[in-house]
A and B are shown apart, each in its own frame.
Chain A
Amino acid sequence: MKVSYMWLSEYVDLDDLSPQALADRLTKAGLAVDGVESRNQGVEGVVVGEVLSVEKHPDAERLNVCAVDAGTGEILQIVCGAPNVRAGIRVPVALVGAKLPGDVKIKRAKLRGVESNGMLCSAAELGLDTRLLPAHQTTGLYILPEGTPIGTDIVSLLQLDDAVLDVDLTPNRSDCLSIRGFAYEVAAILKRPTTFPTTVDSLESDGPSPLTVRLETDGCSRYDAQVLEGIASKPSPLWMQMRLMAMGIRSIDLVVDITNYVMLEWGQPLHAFDADTIADSTIVVRQAREGEVLVTLDGQSRTLTGDMIVIADPDKAIGLAGVMGGENSEISGTTKRVVIESAQFAGRAIRRTGQRLGLRSEAQQRFEKGIDPSAVRNALARATELLVRLAGAQPIGSMVTAHRGDLPATATTSVRFSPDACRVSLGLDISDADMAGILASLGFVVTMHSDDWTVQVPSRRPDVVLQADLVEEVARLYGYDNIPSTHLVLPITPGMRDGRQRLIEQVKDVLVGIGLYEVRSYAFTSPEALRPMGMNESQPPIPLMHPMSDERGVLRTHLLPSLAEIAKHNLAHRVDGGAIFEVGRTYLADALPLTKQPIEREQFALLWFGETGESLREKSRPYDFYDAKGAIERVLAALGVKATFVRLELTWLHPGRSARIVVGDEEIGVIGEIHPAIANDMGVPGGIYAELDVQPLVKHRTMDVTVEPLPKFPGSRRDIALLVQQEVPVGELLETIEMSAASSGILTGVQVFDVYMGQGIPEGHKSVAIALHFQDSERTLTDEEIEDTVQLVVTSAAVAHGAQLRS
């Protein structure tokens, strides 16, 4: 909301308060002022002058040489290039020595040999926002109304000495959407009286209105209208144009400007219809018919729905209530009689209509947030007065009023208020008198009975309905700065992470410690990003109803595409490679369309991409499966989770280099090299991906350790080399060995330390070197029993895997 300081100062004494000082006070009271802008962008020494004569420049076709009376006591010769210059017009004249916005200084000059003593100005040259001027004023010289006194300083004429406060109003403060409402607030903050003109003159004439109004919907609780005739078609006076401009409203013509001006003054939107387009002189306010079509003022043909409210006559719709008028009832230069509407429409319906049609007018915003019912009639009277005074209009008959149900007897709401409860809830020691004073300054009427007060809140403050609302009014006007800092007086509670939260932090620390970077990516992705993995078929993603782009149109069902995207970005920016992880969610629908909240599956997702990078003692090499597996093993060890890796075939992973990670018979994750075809499709050169589900880790993690006593007797180690076929998984071989020796109770460790293929090994075979560790807690083992166990191990390996002992 833009607020003119000058206009405001008519209603509250601001004499000793600069616009910036006022802005600071407002901000402290909760009306945040984003900026204070002087209307004067640097105009100095510009006055009103009359062009007395215009002659063609002898040497320049587009220039004219003008004789100008600017009240300086001499006739000035000024060269002008504007096409709309002509004798008799009054325009802003920048005299020699004047300043214009953009650090322009006017000097005596010669233009193609002709002396020019100043400059005739356009609106833009004066720093006016031409988007807010009537169309004919936007180009060429800024022609001022006839009779504007010659020599008048343009700064005061155009109210450039005004300042505009840009107030970031919170949506609850509909009362501040008008200068009068704003003045009440300022008066309360400054603890000063308001100085409104006593009453609006009632200029309605006697006799019935020629207009009949029928309300056929609850969406309109009150509808007042006044018919007027004999309106002169002319621009609005300069002072009104400037006030509208200061408040960010474009000047159109006198009638429209008056309706806007009154809206800014009272907060009540008005609308003007051409009375002669209304059939039977009857206005019907009703719900739109489904599919009904109305061409609105902007020339758009709108198809309406049943929940919209229209203003109609018995034959047709003539306007969209509270949102925009219809083209068929628009006033024009030939309009003889107008109907001015001042009504109260239901905010919800207006809001929905605007949203549906993509419209967001000033009127609509005020209806949405709620208007003051007590302003409906006053605003109409004020508009009538201005039309009579400025446009020479004559009222026909009296105002017509229609309403649904009874009009409320009083324009106030009664709220009970406990001053003790207020003190307690704020933790603030404030006296009854101070509280009463603050509420009274807002124009609330306070009746004090010990601790049970009654506060009458005027209808312009529909946001105040509860004790808590009054508490806020007291607090913000007393000053939030005066609220002390205290400590909670509550029972002591343990502040602890739960198991899941602890696990996540722990795993993050492990991963960071072994050289991975945590990333955070967006949950929105596209079916295209999920396509290479076949996710759109196996787990169709949940689409957004109105995505902002196709790239962010669905919720991700897998984390790999997010990480691949990051890898792609990094590789494209000359990063050799890296190891990254995310703790992220995927969103899995049971069925589409969605009928309930989807499963949000929380996972650790890890990706190794590109190369390790060169260092002094190590050559750069591509990351491989075992880098990833080592990291996963490290994480599992940190959590005390014992998992096995089982060969797995998934379409999007390398069929020979992927595994599921299994605890008992539960799959808790996968690991593998991205299938080269999929990587290619995703636009990454490849990489190793792993994921672990958070929930099963929480379930399987062990927190308890029971310490084993340290061995008292020396252990032994025997190394064996087994020859097996290449495809025998070493993991299974080791498992067989452990199992076979389990009964002996003395084999305490099995460790593979070499896998060899090549010279000396038969084709299709490999040699697996294994260290066997023997230990007994009670005694020193004999060579004999160790040899027996080695024999057992070798035999079992032979039976299970066809292994041969290499000598």
Chain B
Amino acid sequence: MDFEALDVELNGLRETALKRLGEVGDTRSLADWRVEYMGKKSAISTLSKQMGSLSAEDRPKFGQRMNEVRQALETAFAARQAELERIEQAKRLAAETIDVTLPGRRVPMGAIHPISRVIRDIEEVFLGMGFSIVDGPEVETDHYNFELLNLPKDHPARDMQDTFYLTEELLLRTHTSPMQVRTMERMRGEVPIKVIVPGRVYRRDEDDATHSHAFTQIEGLVVDRGVRMSDLKGTLETFAKALFGPNQQVRLRPSYFPFTEPSTEVDVICVHCQGDGCRVCKGTGWIEILGAGMVHPRVLDMSGYDSQVYSGFAFGMGPERIAMLKYGISDIRLMYQNDLRFLSQFTGV
């Protein structure tokens, strides 16, 4: 045989193989094709055996041609294989389609109570300002709940906090303020004192939409040398911005608490109308959220801090009220009824 004749035959085989490859429709036929055109018994293999009949000069030339053809078929095969696999995978995936609108496998939902949520938010703000958190007994003595807070027995201001007594001397605390005194006693004259006190308190109020015989309070106390009323305002302003948004402002209004002097009520811009005036703020644009003041000199003195040297401020707020404002809860009793249809609305807070 001569080189030309073999080469013609080889080219013919290549053409046939490539043509057939284009017709192969699935990966199984592809395997058959590979056996038929590239296997040991393929026509190309047979042809290669005839190489020995060529001249020594033509032999390497033909060997090279042979390799080229094999290479070309190999490449075409790989491309065809990839294409077919892609098509088959696409078919398979199409068949695997599911309804993505069906609900996921159920993971039970839970939620933190809205009052706890608000308490935690408030705690985070003050922790960030370097306050620590303390808590204390709910059953208090008359001494700590009233007398050491400048509310001696038979003081008319005791009417502001109608009290549940257990005995003549023991009662359920009407505010978290006794912890002001307990904290100062524990600190034994050390400064600075920067604490907040979240906790449950009790007053003899008939339960209605805005009153509860049991509710929570967060007390705050700062004592050091040179603490000013302007610091109180600045601290509460920082707090209000953190809790209600960067555009918040606070407004102080003179008031009276027996354990602070001067005393103040603190308003923030109405969270409902941003100050334009609405039903929630009775048209004033402001809502009262806490009471505060400079710690009364008698309270400081009774707690072991010389009022000539030290000063401080204290404040108290009601998480229930803040929760009601933040979440639009119109009845405080809802928060103590613990209806799951109510609580489940707080999975997102």
Contacts from A to B (Cβ < 8 Å) = 27-30, 32, 170-173, 347-348, 351-352, 365, 368-369, 424-428, 466-469, 471-472, 475-476, 480-481, 483-498, 501, 505, 508-509, 511-524, 542-548, 552, 555, 566, 569-570, 573, 575, 578-580, 585, 587, 593-598, 600, 612, 615-618
Given contacts A29-B254, A30-B256, A495-B129, contact A516 B226 (CB under 8 A): no
A108 to B86, CA, bound (A): 97
B116 touches A171 (CB 8 A): no
Q: Does B8 contact A (CB under 8 A)?
A: no
B96 interface hit (Cβ, 8 Å): no
Assess whether B230 is in contact with A472, with CB atoms less than 8 Å apart: no
Whether B107 sits at the interface, judged by CB under 8 Å, is yes
Partner of B108, one of A494, A501, A515, A519: A515
- Determine if A508 and B112 form an interchain contact, defined as CB atoms under 8 angstroms apart: yes
The 8 Å CB contact of A495, one of B132, B237, B341, is B132
Q: A424-B226, A424-B228, A426-B228 are in contact. Are A569 and B105 (CB under 8 A)?
A: no
**Is B105 touching A617 in the complex (CB atoms < 8 A)?**
yes
Of the candidates B108, B128, B294, B338, the one whose C-beta lies within 8 Å of that of A566 is B338
- The interface residues of chain B lying within 8 Å CB-to-CB of A493 are 130-132, 192, 194
Q: Is B340 a contact partner of A485 (Cβ separation < 8 A)? A: no
User: Is A579's CB under 8 angstroms from B237's CB?
Assistant: no
Whether A425 contacts B294 by the Cβ 8 Å rule is yes
Select the residue from A512, A547, A598 with max chain B CB neighbours within 10 A.
Answer: A512
Docked-complex contact A545 and B224, CB < 8 angstroms: no
Among B160, B255, B296: residue with most chain A CB under 10 A = B255
**How distant is the Cα of A491 from the Cα of B222 in the complex, in angstroms?**
12
Query: What is the CA–CA distance of A548 and B255 in the complex, to the nearest angstrom?
Result: 30
In angstroms, Cα B159 to Cα A547, docked, is 17
User: Please, what's the 1-or-0 string for B114-152, where 1 marks a CB less than 8 Å from any CB in chain A?
Assistant: 011000100100111111110001111100000000000
Chain B residue at smallest Cβ distance from A423: B228
Assess whether B229 is in contact with A171, with CB atoms less than 8 Å apart.
no
Asked whether B12 is an interface residue with its Cβ less than 8 Å from the other chain, the reply is no
Given A484-B234, A486-B228, 13 more A-B residue pairs with CB atoms under 8 Å apart are A171-B157, A472-B262, A480-B252, A481-B252, A497-B133, A512-B110, A517-B338, A520-B335, A542-B139, A548-B204, A596-B170, A597-B170, A616-B103
Q: Closest Cβ of chain B: how far from A364's Cβ, in Å?
A: 10
B138 touches A523 (CB 8 A): yes
Q: Contacts A575-B339, A579-B110 known; A501 to B229 CB distance under 8 Å?
A: no
Query: Cα distance A170–B120 when bound, in Å?
Result: 32
Instruction: Decide if B344 is an interface residue (CB 8 Å cutoff).
Output: yes
B338 and A519 contact, CB distance less than 8 A = yes
Query: What is the bound-complex CA distance between A549 and B216, given in angstroms?
Result: 21
Enumerate 13 A-B pairs (CB-CB under 8 Å) in ascending A order.
Answer: A30-B255, A480-B253, A497-B133, A517-B111, A542-B166, A545-B167, A546-B165, A570-B338, A596-B170, A597-B139, A600-B139, A615-B106, A617-B106
User: Is the beta-carbon distance between A522 and B336 smaller than 8 angstroms?
Assistant: yes
Which of A427, A468, A524, A548 sits near B297, CB closer than 8 Å?
Answer: A468
A residues less than 8 Å from B170 (CB atoms): 594, 596-597
The answer to whether B139 and A587 touch across the interface, beta carbons within 8 angstroms, is yes
The residues of A that contact B303 with a CB separation of less than 8 Å are none
Q: Which 4 A-B pairs rank lowest in CB-CB distance, beginning with the nearest?
A: A515-B108, A427-B230, A30-B254, A170-B256
User: Bound state CA distance, A352 and B152, in angstroms?
Assistant: 13
Of the candidates B103, B110, B126, B138, the one whose C-beta lies within 8 Å of that of A514 is: B110
A351 touches B262 (CB 8 A): no
Residues of A within 8 A of B230 (CB): 426-428, 483-486
Q: How far is the CB of A754 from chain B (nearest CB, A)?
A: 23
B166 adjacent to A170 (CB under 8 Å):
no
A476 and B262 contacting across the interface, CB-CB below 8 Å: yes
Q: By the criterion CB–CB under 8 Å, are A548 and B261 in contact?
A: no
Tell me the count of chain B residues lying within 8 A, CB to CB, of chain A: 88
A-B contact count (CB 8 A): 253
CB neighbours of B172 from chain A (8 A): 523, 544
The reply to whether A578 and B262 form a contact with Cβ atoms under 8 Å apart is: no
Chain A residues with CB under 8 Å of B138's CB are 523, 585, 587, 600
**B115 to nearest A CB, angstroms?**
6
**Contact check: which of A30, A487, A546, A597 meets B140 at CB < 8 Å?**
A597
**CB of B200 within 8 A of chain A?**
yes
Tell me, yes or no, whether B70 is within 8 Å of chain A by CB.
no
- Establish whether residues A492 and B130, one from each chain, have CB atoms under 8 Å apart when the complex forms: yes
Residues of A within 8 A of B165 (CB): 544-546
Question: Whose C-beta in chain A lies nearest to the C-beta of B223?
Answer: A490
Known: A426-B228, A488-B222, A508-B116. A172 touches B336 (CB 8 A): no
CB neighbours of A494 from chain B (8 A): 130, 132
| Residues on the B chain within 8 Å of A547, using CB | 164
Q: Chain A nearest CB: distance from B181 CB in Å? A: 15
Checking A425, A514, A595 against B229 with a beta-carbon cut-off of 8 angstroms, the contacting residue is: A425
The residues of A that contact B217 with a CB separation of less than 8 Å are none
Rounded to whole Å, the gap between the CB of B45 and the closest CB of chain A is 45
Q: Which of B282-328 contact A (CB under 8 A)?
A: 294, 296-298, 311
A646 to chain B, nearest CB (A): 28
Closest A residue to B204 by CB, please name it.
Answer: A548
B213 at the interface (CB under 8 A from A): yes
B80 within 8 Å of A (CB atoms) = no
Chain B neighbourhood of A521, CB < 8 A: 336, 338
- Select the residue from A30, A487, A495 with max chain B CB neighbours within 10 A: A495
- The reply to whether B130 and A495 form a contact with Cβ atoms under 8 Å apart is yes
**Interface SS, B side:** mixed
User: Which of chain B's residues has its CB closest to A627's CB?
Assistant: B108
**Chain A contact residues, majority secondary structure:** loop
Interface residues of B in 38-92 (CB under 8 A from A): none
Candidates B133, B214, B253; contact of A498 at CB < 8 Å: B133
CB nearest to B120 among chain A residues = A505
Say yes or no: is B227 at the interface (Cβ < 8 Å to chain A).
yes
CB-CB < 8 A to A617: which residues of B? 105-106
Distance from B255 Cβ to chain A, minimum over Cβ atoms (Å): 6
Contact B227 A488, beta carbon cutoff 8 Å: yes
B241 to chain A: closest CB distance in Å? 11
Q: Which residues of B contact A497 (CB under 8 A)?
A: 123, 127, 133
Complex alpha-carbon distance, A516 and B265, angstroms = 38
Q: How far is the CB of A282 from chain B (nearest CB, A)?
A: 30
Bound-complex Cα distance A516 to B233 (A): 39
Q: Tell me if B127 and A495 are in contact (CB < 8 A).
A: yes
CB distance from A172 to the nearest CB of B (A): 5
Would you call B156 an interface residue if the criterion is a C-beta within 8 Å of the partner chain's C-beta atoms? yes
Check: B206 CB closer than 8 A to any chain A CB: yes
The distance from the CB of B6 to the nearest CB of chain A, in whole angstroms, is 57
Q: In whole Å, how far is A327's beta carbon from the nearest beta carbon of chain B?
A: 28
CB distance from A428 to the nearest CB of B (A): 7
Complex Cα gap A171–B161 (Å): 12
Which residues from B are CB-within-8-Å of A498?
A: 132-133
Residue from B139, B224, B231 within 8 A of A598 (CB atoms): B139
Known: A545-B165, A615-B106. A518 touches B112 (CB 8 A): yes
Interface presence of B34 (CB below 8 A)? no
Which residue of the partner chain A has the closest CB to B308? A421
**Residues of chain B within 8 A of A351, CB atoms compared:** 154, 156
**Which residue from A480, A487, A495 sits with its C-beta under 8 Å from B254?**
A480
Q: In the bound complex, what is the Cα–Cα distance between A19 and B253 (angstroms)?
A: 20
Q: How far is the CA of A515 from the CA of B344 in the complex (A)?
A: 11
> What is the bound-complex CA distance between A471 and B105, given in angstroms?
65
Report whether A490 and B194 are in contact in the complex, using a CB–CB cutoff of 8 Å. yes
Query: Quick check: is B176 within 8 A (CB to CB) of the other chain?
Result: no
Q: Which of A508, A552, A575 contacts B341 (CB 8 A)?
A: A575
> Is B262 within 8 A of A475, CB to CB?
yes
Complex contact A170–B255 (CB within 8 A): yes
Q: Are B139 and A171 in contact (CB under 8 A)?
A: no
Q: Is the CB of B224 within 8 A of A490?
A: yes
Pick the contact of A488 from B109, B231, B340, B344 — CB < 8 Å?
B231
B196 to A, closest residue via Cβ: A495
* B235 within 8 A of partner (CB): yes
Closest partner residue, chain A, to B124 (CB atom): A495
Contact A569 B224 (CB under 8 A): no
Asked if B247 is at the interface (CB within 8 A of a chain A CB), the reply is no
